[in-house]
């Protein structure tokens, strides 16, 4: 009985990748190509998010896992970010300067964070607070939760080395209407 030989010659050219593959076992080669393309799609998705989000958020493995999971469920996402200026409290008798958030500024900033988002369509939110204390981050996340009661919220905190501002960013996943009309 004569056995069929399988071979593969494949050339893929993408923006950041040129791949040429030659092999005698087509089935094995196609499995490897599939793995490479899956990785490339993940990198491409990472690049899309990279335009809008802080490096600290994207460096968090738990966050990237959530992003991958949520983007498989929901085709659309929105991002937004605000910076809240911290008030400085100078304690002359103790000889130190502390930073704290003003409640009114936090409320205004949360409104600004959520304003461009189609709130009723949001299903899941990753809220990243880059600030000085976890307590402040918890308060900010609670304010977002009050405004977005129908959405599941996943808080992330990163300690900031910049005491002058607290950064709040959100990745909103849901069934959004298109932002722009396609021609």
What is the tens place of the pLDDT at every residue in 141-155? Answer: 999 999 999 999 999
- Angstrom CA distances, 66 to 59, 79, 120, 129, 155, stand at 12, 14, 21, 16, 11
Residues 57-77: what's their mean pLDDT? 87
Rg (CA), the chain: 23
- Among residues 144, 122, 110, the alpha carbon closest in space to that of 77 is found at 122
- What is this structure's pTM? 0.69
Residues 169-176: what's their mean pLDDT? 92
pLDDT at 172: 94
pLDDT at 108: 94
E strand spans, the chain: 8-14, 17-23, 76-85, 87-91, 96-100, 122-131, 152-159, 165-174
């Amino acid at each position: 009985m004569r056995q069929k030989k399988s071979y593969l010659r494949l050339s893929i050219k993408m923006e950041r990748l040129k791949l040429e593959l030659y092999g005698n076992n087509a089935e094995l080669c196609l499995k490897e190509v599939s793995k490479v393309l899956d990785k490339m799609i993940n990198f491409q998705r990472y690049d899309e998010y990279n335009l809008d989000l802080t490096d600290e958020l994207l460096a968090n493995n738990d966050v990237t896992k959530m992003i991958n999971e949520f983007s498989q469920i929901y085709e659309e996402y929105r991002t937004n970010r605000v910076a809240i200026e911290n008030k400085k409290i100078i304690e002359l008798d103790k000889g130190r300067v502390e930073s704290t958030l003003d409640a009114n500024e936090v409320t205004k900033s949360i409104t600004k964070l959520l304003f461009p988002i189609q709130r009723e369509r949001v299903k899941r939110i990753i809220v990243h607070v880059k600030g000085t204390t976890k307590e402040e981050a918890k308060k900010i996340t609670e304010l977002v939760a009050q405004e977005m009661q129908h959405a599941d919220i996943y808080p992330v905190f990163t300690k900031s080395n910049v005491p002058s501002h607290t950064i709040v960013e959100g990745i909103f996943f849901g069934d959004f209407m298109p932002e722009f009309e396609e021609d």
